Structure 1
Amino acid sequence: MKKEDLIAMGLSEEQAEAVVGKYGTMIPKERFDEVNKAKKTLEEQVKTHETQLKDLQDKAKGNDDLQKTITDLQLANETAKTEYEQQLKNERMNAALKLSLHSKVHDVDLVAGLIDKTTIELSEDGKVTKGLEEQLKTLQESKSFLFVPEKQPPTFKGWNPAGGADNGAGASDIGSNFAKMANEKGASDTTNNPWD
Structure 2
Amino acid sequence: MTKEELIALGLTEEQAKKVLEAVKEYVPKTQLGEVEQERDSLKATIAERDTQLETLKKSSGDNAALQQQIADLQKANEEQRKAHDAEITQLRLDNAVEAALLTAGAKNVKAVRALMDADKLKLEKDGTVSGLSEQIKTIQKSDDYLFAGKQQQQFRGFQPGASGDVKPDGNVDVSKMTYSEMVAYLEANPGAKI
Superposition TM-score, scaled by structure 2 size: 0.49
**Larger radius of gyration between Structure 1 and Structure 2:** 1
